[in-house]
Amino acid sequence: MNKQMKVVIIGGVAAGPKAASKVIRMCPEADVTLIEKGEFLSYAGCGLPYYISGVVKDQKELMSTPVGTVRDSVFFQNVKNIHVCNYTEAVDIDRSKQEVTVKDWRTREIRSIQYDKLLLATGATPLKPPVEGIKLNNIFTLHGVEDAEGIKSAFSERKARDVTIVGGGLIGIEMAEAFHKMGARVTIIEALPQILSFLDWEIAQLVTKHLESKGVKVKINTKVTAFKGTGNVEKVLTDKGENACDIVIMAVGVRPNVTLAKNAGLYLGSEGGIKVNEYMQTSDPNIYAAGDCVETMNRITRKLCFMPLGSIANKQGRIAALNICGQKEKFQGILSTAICKVFDFGVAATGLSERKAKEEGFQVITVLSPAPDRAHFYPTAKPIMMKLIVDKISNRLLGTQVVGFGDVAKRIDIAVTAITANMTVDDVSNLDLAYAPPYSAAMDNIITAANIAKNKLVRAYTSITPMEVKEKIDNGDDFIFLDVRTQGEYDAMRLENTTLITLGKLRGSLSELQKDAEIITFCKISLRGYEAALILQANGFTNVKVMDGGILMWPYKVIK
């Protein structure tokens, strides 16, 4: 290998700096140049909502090392021996000459930089639909430190506090909390039938209910048609009405920034990102790409997908650097794992949703399993609600979604590991997980959920989803909706069309129920509902079902 290998990296936020740093560690004699159009380098973009809300006090904290050193151009030069050209845009790639043409936005100088290996880490560009009034002041995207500063400035200058967020994805939801924390009245407008489209509907609805409990308005199935105002935005018009606002955040997604790659004749993939192989190599063997500008492979379906996340970008940047330096290391793909904080609620998912699994042709069973995140008697125990998606044929875990007040991150990370290892629910149910009351129950949430899945697979009982129950109610079907909680629980919160017989009194009340009737049992989490179903079946009742998830995972309104 040439001792003076010239490596040029375009993009200085996530994948680019990670790759540059790894190249220097692997090949300290390499000549590494990092080109960044903006001012700021290697910052935590996912931390921007928390900087806007004031949780993170200083923007420098977003671009500092764990010991507080700011990762600026001086840091990269003195510590890493990486030459940084910020305020510099790469405008052209000449593959035959192996050089990049760049423009310095401060001096207006245009020059060429030669490379032996080139890495494209050009990221993604936020979408701004061509809606009337989109260019009014105080309509923002959140795609960098500059955007964050603009939002903070606009918010402080306005007397009113009405904020509309267009888009109910991760950024939109995180910004809703940020503005609420700042004292704003917040409305989320989402064109789809639910927020957080990577979740199944009933899990997303639990998040919606939590947002609404905090005072955030959520409008689904609603399309923005125009923005109105004189200079500054003053109202948002939709196909279902209008609402006043002082600030708008456009959070409808991003598209991979592939202009340079396309103009250079590099292959693009079916999802619009740069096409790379498992070594992060493009169609030109001397050019690599990583981060939000590329497509990657889903580990379960083996299909290409686009998932712009900083965690993925950093891993890909490292893999690209290893291969630039002559190693052969593969990027194995992703499970589209995501997590976010929604006030005091955690929301996480990995693998395939039920909807996606069915689209991919899997025959699935699902489990809804709510429970405390640690021993129920421990003072800090908090509920979490979990959904498993399991392949009926192989018993393999395909996906997991977890929401709630407790520790969702721990369970989603267990699920990530299990899916990556192609574990069945039998494997998951036998995991030797750590137990102590401050950290988990003796049978951890994911083990309990796996055991429920096993029971379903062997048809130990018949289950029914909350959505199927609601459809029966709405259709006026004749069935007994049997609540087996206590009278006190029932008085505090109940569902419509229910019959109350507490579990302790059920054996003595069997004569009150028709043996040929359809009976659907439930309780707070449907553990007692399961016990009730077993009692009924043992006494000759033949049409008994248990409602998955109980009242905690009922995605509709409850009677209080």
Active site residue ranges: 46
Distance CA 403, CA 355 (A): 18
Distance CA 38, CA 73 (A): 12
Distance CA 292, CA 256 (A): 6
CA distances from 6 to 28, 31, 102, 119, 317 (A): 12, 5, 16, 11, 17
Distance CA 6, CA 21 (A): 14
Question: In this structure, what token pair is assigned to residue 236?
Answer: 């948002």
Distance CA 513, CA 515 (A): 6
Length of the chain equals: 560
Strand positions, DSSP E, 251-321: 254-256, 287-289, 296-297, 304-305
Distance CA 276, CA 540 (A): 61
Q: Which residues, 6+ apart, have CB-to-CB distance to 289 below 8 Å?
A: 119, 120, 121, 261, 266, 274, 276, 280, 282, 320
CA distances from 205 to 33, 202, 209, 238, 248 (A): 47, 5, 6, 22, 24
Helical H segments across 295-394, by residue range = 310-324, 354-359
> Which of these, 525, 521, 520, 528, lies nearest to 386 by C-alpha position?
525
CA distances from 257 to 261, 262, 268, 293 (A): 9, 10, 11, 5
Helical H segments across 90-219, by residue range = 145-157, 170-181, 201-213
CA atoms within 13 A on the CB side of 431: 23
Q: What are phi and psi of 55, to 5 degrees?
A: -60, -45
| ∠ Cα 465 467 472 (to 5°) | 100
> Which of these, 338, 142, 152, lies nearest to 252 by C-alpha position?
142
